[in-house]
Amino acid sequence: MSRASRSRRIVRCAAAPCVGRSRLAVAVWVAGLALAGPTLADTPPCGPFEPFEKASVQVALASAEPGVAPAQPSGDITTLPEPADDLGAAPRGEALLALPKDSAGGIPTDIGLAPGASIASSYWSPVLCATVARVVGPPDLEPAALVPGLPPTAAVVPNSVYATAQAVVTPAPAPPPATGPDPYRPLQYALDWLGADRARTLTNGAGVRVALLDSAPARHRDLPPIEIVPIEEGPPADIGAHGTLSAGVLAAIERNAFGIEGVAPGADVVAIPVCTPQGASASDRCLLYDLLRGVDRAYDTTARVVNLSLVGPANPLLERSMARLDELGVLVVAAAGNEGTDEPRYPAAYPTVIGVGAADRERRAYARSNRGLSAEIYAPGVEILSSVPGDSFAFGSGTSFAAANVSGALSLLLGTGATPAEVRAALFRQAAEASEGQPLTLVPSLCDVLARLGRTCAP
């Protein structure tokens, strides 16, 4: 039985019983969730949340070796500055309500909604160990005002908006005459940087599932069959250029005499559409409610790597979901963003997430790549050739593609049978050693990382 069938339960609340200030009506709805929902035995072990802070997300200063392991609480706490307003404001009159289990496994019921507010939809999150509800109401009300009656361990946060982190996409020229198995392969400097060809003498990522939380990728002659796992029942998600580009970087078919090669062509990629394309560009809009549901779907599918080529503001629910994935042994990779700032962007800046900045073929930082806490490591992200809808190809520049290269690299390393902790430690220790004295911490040659894991690439 799958994790989804064991632990995932989506509840849609009728407007009438969940509207207004009636604590009794909402309590009856929540009690129904508690009776019908999963028990503690149905989900991975996790206790109730500590009370949420009202301030911005707080991050403990790292006491672990940088990059090798997520930062652990050190007693010294710093509040990170809020991102710029141009990342997109949350929808007005909306909030997300999180109701974590208490120590006895129950869900709190002492909730009051503002007049005119209602619970539009809700679901049980096995990753957060909480019921998450989308509350809608009068557009002039802030999230806290939409749910004025709140249990102490519950949380109300904005339904934050995130955007896929692409910067520039330009069409590819006609392919050169076929001189090998894949005509565009000579233009893929990222594979040479990673030493992917030699590394694939040991592993091509087979047996490793990667969840791509993005817009839905197109069917493409150079992409393997990619399972699209929706976050809810309904019509198929709109196809996006961004999701198609990211999928190609990860897992384009090798040696098929067409197009390009992915970093980890043997990996099992599942696409979870959490972002909606905006017009014909490669820019997508992603709401936190959908992103959180996508994280749960990624866990349901037993993904070992989650790729998040998107950026946005800090949000306590997003931070907690990222931390829980790390607890569950899932490696999360996120794009640093393309604003050319050292102000933190999320989820890349969270300590449990591998935040990736973009570098060019000369291993210099991309001018538009974000820096600082968001960019823990830099990877090829400038003029990256990949797939786009219509069996075509394009060059993309931005941290989205740098993140996809790192997710592919991690897939290869995990394909050796090493644990996520071993892979993360080997990657960052080799990166630190190889980049000593350099301005950037660069993703290293994969064969050097494999050597740290006790594997030797063919000459």
User: Of 242, 374, 411, 445, which one is the catalytic site residue?
Assistant: 242
**Please, are residues 37 and 131 in contact by the beta-carbon 8 Å criterion?**
yes
Among left, alpha and beta (phi > 0; psi -120 to 50; other), residue 363 is: left
Counting DSSP H helices and E strands in the chain, the numbers are: 11, 21
- Identify any residues that bridge with 129 across adjacent strands, giving them in sequence order: none
Here the tokens at position 373 are 């806490």
391 is catalytic: no
50, 80, 83, 79: which is closest to 158 by C-alpha? Answer: 83
**Residues recorded for the chain:** 459
284 is catalytic: no
Coil/strand/helix, residue 53: coil
The CA-based angle 126-408-433, given to 5 degrees, is 105
**Torsions phi, psi of 455, nearest 5?**
-115, 140
Please classify residue 287 by burial: count the beta carbons closer than 10 Å to its beta carbon, then call 0-12 exposed, 13-18 middle and 19+ buried.
buried
Q: What is the DSSP string of 20-57?
A: SS-HHHHHHHHHHHHHHS--GGGS-S--PPPPPPSSS-
- Give the integer Cα–Cα distance in Å for 310 and 315: 14
Q: Looking up tokens 């990382």, which residue turns up?
A: 449
**Please, are residues 425 and 276 in contact by the beta-carbon 8 Å criterion?**
no
Q: Looking up tokens 């989650």, which residue turns up?
A: 306
Instruction: Check residue 374 and report its DSSP letter.
Output: G
User: What are the CA-CA distances from residue 173 to residues 176, 362, 389 (Å)?
Assistant: 9, 22, 16
160 is catalytic: no
User: Of 214, 284, 290, 300, which one is the catalytic site residue?
Assistant: 214
Number of CB atoms found within 10 A of residue 59's CB: 20
Listed in sequence order, the DSSP H helices in 143-218 are 143-146, 189-194, 196-199
Instruction: Check residue 41 and report its DSSP letter.
Output: G
99, 126, 133: which is closest to 11 by C-alpha? Answer: 133
- Neighbouring residues of 438: CB distance < 8 A, sequence distance ≥ 6: none
Please report, as a single letter, which amino acid is at residue 336: A
**Please, are residues 109 and 30 in contact by the beta-carbon 8 Å criterion?**
yes
- Give the integer Cα–Cα distance in Å for 187 and 183: 9
**Torsions phi, psi of 438, nearest 5?**
-100, 160
- Identify any residues that bridge with 286 across adjacent strands, giving them in sequence order: 162, 275
User: Of 309, 321, 374, 400, which one is the catalytic site residue?
Assistant: 400
Instruction: Return the active site residues.
Output: 214, 242, 400
